Amino acid sequence: MQYTIEVGPGSQIVVVTDQTQVRVGDCVNVEQAGSGTANVRRVSEARCEAVFAGDPVDNELQAYMTGEAVMCLQAKERLMEAETDEALETAMRRVKFLCDY
């Protein structure tokens, strides 16, 4: 999927990702996931309100969001490495839980 995402007043980026759950108007976080890839994850509407109000992200929130991005990336890597049906099912549930808000 290709998304055009407003990242601030008058500023947009285009992201191509495997995420299909995002809808027009959703508040999302764009996370760099490895080299040259991105994850788009829905987040609380309060996060977008803060961005558009110009509120900075504090260190604690940034660390939390980074941790979530890392766990999502690791879940996707496990999905790609799955070799059995059982491992594939488990990995798919993990990706859904960690990456699809």
Greatest CA span in the chain, whole angstroms?
48
Domain containing 33 equals 2-99
Q: By percentage, how much of the chain surpasses pLDDT 90?
A: 17
The more confidently predicted of residues 3 and 9 is: 3
For residue 101, what pLDDT is reported? 59
Q: Which of 15-24, 25-34, 86-95 has the highest mean pLDDT?
A: 86-95
Distance CA 30, CA 39 (A): 6
The more confidently predicted of residues 33 and 43 is: 43
Structural domain total, the chain:
1
Q: Tell me 36's DSSP state.
A: S
Put simply, whether the predicted model's pTM sits higher than 0.75 gets the answer no
- Rg value, the chain, Cα: 15
- The model's pLDDT over 50-72, given as tens digits with 9 standing for 90+, comes to 877 877 778 888 788 888 888 88
